[in-house]
Structure 1
């Protein structure tokens, strides 16, 4: 046998492809012929070949390797046919510790053109891919123009192109895999932007070809961009004609009428006697009799070939009365041929719009007839129209003054506004009705042009006698409201919205500030409630102005040696005084000092009663728990067989009783140091042993407390941990230390002993005693329990952080 360097040199000289394979049959090295066959990266080429050949090659490699190892002749290799028509015959040899794979290539059958020639001849993009692995086996230049970069796998193509080729997430589409031999090719379409930035509408024809367990994907792409643009142009033209309701026809002397295809949405629907969108569809019998002269003029123009535009009405059996506008436009085609284009437009909407204008004018007259302002229209010949309010105002009907000058409605006064030239200024004058009643009105006169070129004057008159009565009633109501506000026991003030200065106040508000009303007018909110509350009141007023809602606040105001509580409500008054009046802010305040004092007294009484009840309940619970513990101890004496279990239960009950006992005289959370001392004392009494204790932390020992919800679980946990340490110390000394710092509290228990081999605290299951009970009781996120071996001692640490422990609210925090 040759040495490895010599063997590698010989392989370089062999003309056939030879691969050196590892034990797992992956490529290690390749000679020049193998690199030429599989590509520059022969390792990747061998992997792709195995993937493309599928199970046939893999089964043969395993069977051949097993046969060579056992000294039997290997089975013949399956013939492999490449995409270019070449056939490959493989031989596997053992070259420990590796394998040698020899490939013999046979030339393609020259009787048929190779696939690469067919692909080169195709002007359309085409490609051949392995449907199992997704490797691109062959493609032509047109396909490469769609995806530069020479991709070797379908996954390397753009996502839209993968969808066109039926490739999705590394596998062909289900419609391709279900394709049968007799089925037509699968068609897909999409708009694709090529590397040159052109939008192309591509259609793909896909076929999945199977043979000898191998599946190949054949792809042929067709560019339908021109057909797509043509169809789009036709669709847009049809949509434009349908939207405009236009009928189009062309007349040629040699060929007659050239009828366009029937389109949906034309002005007239197709029927046996009325072709759509052509002039023949408008027969004489459907033309409105009044429009027959115009229709005859259209017919004569068509016969002579003259240009004309005719508007006429028809009564269609399905669409009803329609107005049409037909335009005839003669022209010359190439070669001197005459052609006449006839365009028919449905102008019914315009006719309807004209009628709508007439109806609108009548509607406006009806509206003007219903308003409360008197309106009189005067033309060159005198009064033309009066609305109902004007007729009622002057006590006459339109026929009584029709065609007469406006002066008949005015007193005998040459300077009266009705005798002057109309202008835009508002005038106020006295009028006399036809019934002799005289009254004052305010109004104006406006001149507008008429259709005949003249001017029309419109007078708008308002009877101000009624307005004056309304103003008098309003003044009376305001005076009554002012008297009510002045006598009300509430402090009421009005503030200017921008500066918040006081513009009006009552006596109660002046009493609130302790100053006379005149001194407070124009003052600031601070002068009402004092300098201490001034900034807060201003901020609340700004909030009320911005929120547009009622804002309620309470302000303490010093009143001599006492302090009065005022309940104030702030409301933004927007636009109450007209456009020329600045916006205002209303404040209404009431003295609620006695009411708040009574509420505070009731609250304190309720709190005291609750605390008394809680202390009584805690005291009774403690006594009952101690009674239960005594009963359990008596049972333990009578029943020695259950004494250990009952002793453990007695310890747990005593721990809970200690917590309730500490809560009897306490308010708020319990100091952790007192709970610690109580539980240690209880365990010592129950076990009859002494526990050495220590505490570190100074003032922090009285700062850290247990919340009410966590007091009993943590007390039971300490009881179990101390009892567990005493049980496993075998009468040795047990030490317990309480360490307090700024971040939390740590309880450290040390006892002689040894943990079992492989002991893991997280493997201890939750239970009703011991470490199982501790794990079940302790909070997960704010309590950390650990057990570790330190020499001959077992150290148990229980770390408590907020919210399992809290700071004592009775101790003022240091600044």
Structure 2
């Protein structure tokens, strides 16, 4: 019958099997028994009966006489075998043999079930003799309470976490499953064998058996810790305890107990490692503390316990010189010295510190200042320890004194400086600090100015302007330069050169704004005087140059006229050239007396006069418009327009027969200027000024000279007259700005006129 036999689902089938069958669970409770079993045993075993209440023969056949072995039986294990001699009628006997299987359970939470099959065999004489100790149910019937006790003890042994084995005369009689698992054995494989069966499992077990045997013979017990390894698993540690029980000089009965102490050993190893790490950490910490520049001193209830290298150098001694001494040994004679009066330590809790500053005397006699912290900690048994961290601040105090002296010197320099220096809060632009010169810039009393905003210091309008400049400097995060012209009650105006410099604090945020203002009134006046002198000198030189150019051009015109007189054949051509030279000379002549761009009306009058003198014929110049005198010619356009007017007037005189005066009219408004030249005559049929080819004289020259982007030439027939018009517009001409006071020269920054409060 297979060990993985499934449960019987039908009682009818179970009863029909001719083989005696009984099914029970791990608690010894009978689940069912068939009729063949009752016929074989001669009595019935109803469901619900406990095996402990059954006859000894029944218990042996079911394996209940050795519950530890039975409970280790698994579904995959071979069946347990047992046999008993059962008496029959008329003195005969029968040999009953049994096999017990453990059944596989789908639900691990349910008790394990066992199936026992019993067969009857003929009895041989040796069978009766071998099993003479139980020949019937009557001669060895146990007390029911003993069976229950055996069951309870077996349950306790199997549930204990320790491995327990009972040995008699060196043979393993019983053991729980955990004992076998600890040794890496199959359940039930060692029961009934001698202790020598354990040899060969592990060399350490062989040595252990020898040690146990010797100790049991001499002392009656053995205690040890062993390490065992199972194939494919990590080694585990066990505590082994073997004790002799019962009387007698020879070890007849012994109990062996194995306890898994792997976790304990692991924890112990971890604690040992932590202890080693703690010692390493302490050494490392002391090495680190020896490398810092702060003096570290530790005190216990006896005095100084340890100090680092910095403290030893500070106190000018070795550790042995200070061990056990109070810290006051390096204190000055002051009675209230922090090393001498330590009442402040009594109020400190664990981890709290107290900061102090005092003088210390080294063993070399050097007296110096230190700043320190005293930290209180509590160790084992609530023992208090005090650790002092000391920093030599002698140099810092010297530096502070030097800094204070430098600060005072700087403050004196600031007060005596001719510059207005004041400091402003970057958040609200309120005045923080200012020197006496700044009071002149603000025009307020310095004692009442501190803490005031710009609107109070400078007045509403001026304060609004300065606030905008301050905010611009803060927003741009770099220095901003401005120049202001402030009305003065005595000197007209004062010019202040001002720099705004944002100051960045330790947190990289701008927290203050430095304002430095310098009175540059005299400097600007000197610069203006130098500028005006330079401009006057330049204008004088330009006028001189223009005058000389005009004279030279007139000299050239005279030479050309002499050539024309000697050579009449070229006189007409030379006359045109002379007119052009005279026109250019007129422009330079006008520039001699001008301080800027030429007025258009002056150029027209000059050119008309020159042409009139050349040809001896009257030219009538008329002007019309409110802005006729305000239009100017840029320097680059003056000569081309002058030559164009010369050609047009000359052309009108040539083609206007008779002695009728030539009319030249200048019409102006606020956007453009039109010059009309009117002379008697007629244009050719189909004449167009756009078809006039370019040349060096006449309309061709005019078309070439007039600026195309700002000038337009038209020639039309107006009755018996020819009307020539020239339209001029910006940028070929420009309208002169209204007369105004010349602005003061700005050399640096931006100059703003500030009004009085």
Q: What TM-score results when the alignment is normalised by the length of structure 2?
A: 0.51
Report what 1:716 is aligned to. Answer: 643
Q: Is it true that 1:672 corresponds to 2:593 in the alignment?
A: no
C-alpha deviation, 1:636, in angstroms:
0.7
Report what 2:550 is aligned to. Answer: 622
Question: How far apart are the structure 2 equivalents of 1:537 and 1:596?
Answer: 21
8 Å contact from structure 2 (residues 486, 496) kept in 1: no
Report what 2:523 is aligned to. Answer: 595
Report what 1:501 is aligned to. Answer: 430
Report what 2:153 is aligned to. Answer: none
Question: How far apart are the structure 2 equivalents of 1:681 and 1:675?
Answer: 10
| Aligned positions of 1:393-408 closer than 5 A | 393-397=314-318
Aligned counterpart for 1:706 among listed residues 629, 633, 655: 633
Larger radius of gyration: 2
Report what 1:492 is aligned to. Answer: 421
Deviations 1:488-547, CA, capped at 9 Å, x for gaps: 333332333333333333333335556543233334446666666433333333233333
Deviations 1:689-727, CA, capped at 9 Å, x for gaps: 344544332x21112111222111110111122223333
- Which has the larger displacement, 438-447 or 613-622? 438-447
C-alpha deviation, 1:680, in angstroms:
2.1
Residues 1:512 and 1:414: Cα distance change in structure 2 (over 3 Å): closer
In structure 1, the gaps of 5 or more residues are 1-303, 309-359
Deviations 1:459-493, CA, capped at 9 Å, x for gaps: 65323444333322222222222222223333332
Aligned counterpart for 1:761 among listed residues 690, 713, 731: 690
Question: How far apart are the structure 2 equivalents of 1:501 and 1:719?
Answer: 70
Q: Is it true that 1:565 corresponds to 2:494 in the alignment?
A: yes
Deviations 1:566-599, CA, capped at 9 Å, x for gaps: 43433435256x7799933333333333332222
Report what 2:134 is aligned to. Answer: none
Give the RMSD, CA atoms, in angstroms.
4.8
8 Å contact from structure 2 (residues 692, 700) kept in 1: no
Question: How far apart are the structure 2 equivalents of 1:756 and 1:418?
Answer: 127
Question: How far apart are the structure 2 equivalents of 1:369 and 1:780?
Answer: 91
Question: How far apart are the structure 1 equivalents of 2:478 and 2:537?
Answer: 40
C-alpha deviation, 1:669, in angstroms:
1.6
Question: How far apart are the structure 2 equivalents of 1:634 and 1:658?
Answer: 20
| Aligned positions of 1:24-63 closer than 5 A | none
Question: How far apart are the structure 1 equivalents of 2:690 and 2:300?
Answer: 108
Q: Secondary structure at the match of 2:343?
A: coil
Residues 1:749 and 1:387: Cα distance change in structure 2 (over 3 Å): farther
Report what 1:521 is aligned to. Answer: 450
Aligned counterpart for 1:545 among listed residues 474, 482, 489: 474
Q: Secondary structure at the match of 2:515?
A: strand
8 Å contact from structure 2 (residues 495, 524) kept in 1: no
- Which has the larger displacement, 375-384 or 668-677? 375-384
Residues 1:399 and 1:762: Cα distance change in structure 2 (over 3 Å): farther
Question: How far apart are the structure 2 equivalents of 1:746 and 1:362?
Answer: 105
C-alpha deviation, 1:676, in angstroms:
1.3
8 Å contact from structure 2 (residues 353, 375) kept in 1: no
8 Å contact from structure 2 (residues 481, 500) kept in 1: no
Q: Secondary structure at the match of 2:642?
A: helix
Question: How far apart are the structure 1 equivalents of 2:396 and 2:571?
Answer: 103
In structure 2, the gaps of 5 or more residues are 1-229, 235-280, 332-338, 742-757
Report what 1:574 is aligned to. Answer: 503
Residues 1:401 and 1:597: Cα distance change in structure 2 (over 3 Å): same
Residues 1:363 and 1:730: Cα distance change in structure 2 (over 3 Å): farther
Residues 1:688 and 1:438: Cα distance change in structure 2 (over 3 Å): closer
Question: How far apart are the structure 1 equivalents of 2:488 and 2:303?
Answer: 77
Question: How far apart are the structure 2 equivalents of 1:434 and 1:529?
Answer: 60
Residues 1:661 and 1:374: Cα distance change in structure 2 (over 3 Å): same
Question: How far apart are the structure 1 equivalents of 2:282 and 2:634?
Answer: 82
| Aligned positions of 1:147-296 closer than 5 A | none
- Which has the larger displacement, 623-632 or 644-653? 623-632
Residues 1:424 and 1:678: Cα distance change in structure 2 (over 3 Å): farther
Report what 2:51 is aligned to. Answer: none
C-alpha deviation, 1:637, in angstroms:
0.8
Report what 1:230 is aligned to. Answer: none
8 Å contact from structure 1 (residues 568, 587) kept in 2: no
C-alpha deviation, 1:650, in angstroms:
0.6
Residues 1:420 and 1:580: Cα distance change in structure 2 (over 3 Å): farther
C-alpha deviation, 1:549, in angstroms:
3.5
| Aligned positions of 1:327-342 closer than 5 A | none
Question: How far apart are the structure 1 equivalents of 2:282 and 2:538?
Answer: 80
Q: Secondary structure at the match of 1:543?
A: helix
Report what 2:399 is aligned to. Answer: 470
Question: How far apart are the structure 1 equivalents of 2:231 and 2:510?
Answer: 76
8 Å contact from structure 2 (residues 352, 376) kept in 1: no
Question: How far apart are the structure 1 equivalents of 2:347 and 2:367?
Answer: 18
Q: Secondary structure at the match of 1:738?
A: strand
Question: How far apart are the structure 1 equivalents of 2:231 and 2:728?
Answer: 107
Q: How many residues align?
A: 455
8 Å contact from structure 2 (residues 348, 376) kept in 1: no
Deviations 1:593-614, CA, capped at 9 Å, x for gaps: 3332222222222222332333
C-alpha deviation, 1:643, in angstroms:
0.7
Aligned counterpart for 2:581 among listed residues 632, 648, 653: 653
Q: Secondary structure at the match of 1:700?
A: coil
Whose relative contact order is higher, 1 or 2, with alpha carbons under 8 Å and at least 6 apart? Answer: 2
Question: How far apart are the structure 1 equivalents of 2:607 and 2:438?
Answer: 63
Residues 1:620 and 1:553: Cα distance change in structure 2 (over 3 Å): same
Question: How far apart are the structure 2 equivalents of 1:537 and 1:489?
Answer: 21
C-alpha deviation, 1:646, in angstroms:
0.8
Question: How far apart are the structure 2 equivalents of 1:389 and 1:567?
Answer: 57
Deviations 1:85-135, CA, capped at 9 Å, x for gaps: xxxxxxxxxxxxxxxxxxxxxxxxxxxxxxxxxxxxxxxxxxxxxxxxxxx
Residues 1:363 and 1:779: Cα distance change in structure 2 (over 3 Å): farther
Question: How far apart are the structure 2 equivalents of 1:800 and 1:448?
Answer: 99
Q: Is it true that 1:483 corresponds to 2:412 in the alignment?
A: yes
8 Å contact from structure 1 (residues 417, 429) kept in 2: no
Residues 1:580 and 1:632: Cα distance change in structure 2 (over 3 Å): closer
Question: How far apart are the structure 2 equivalents of 1:760 and 1:372?
Answer: 99
Residues 1:657 and 1:434: Cα distance change in structure 2 (over 3 Å): closer
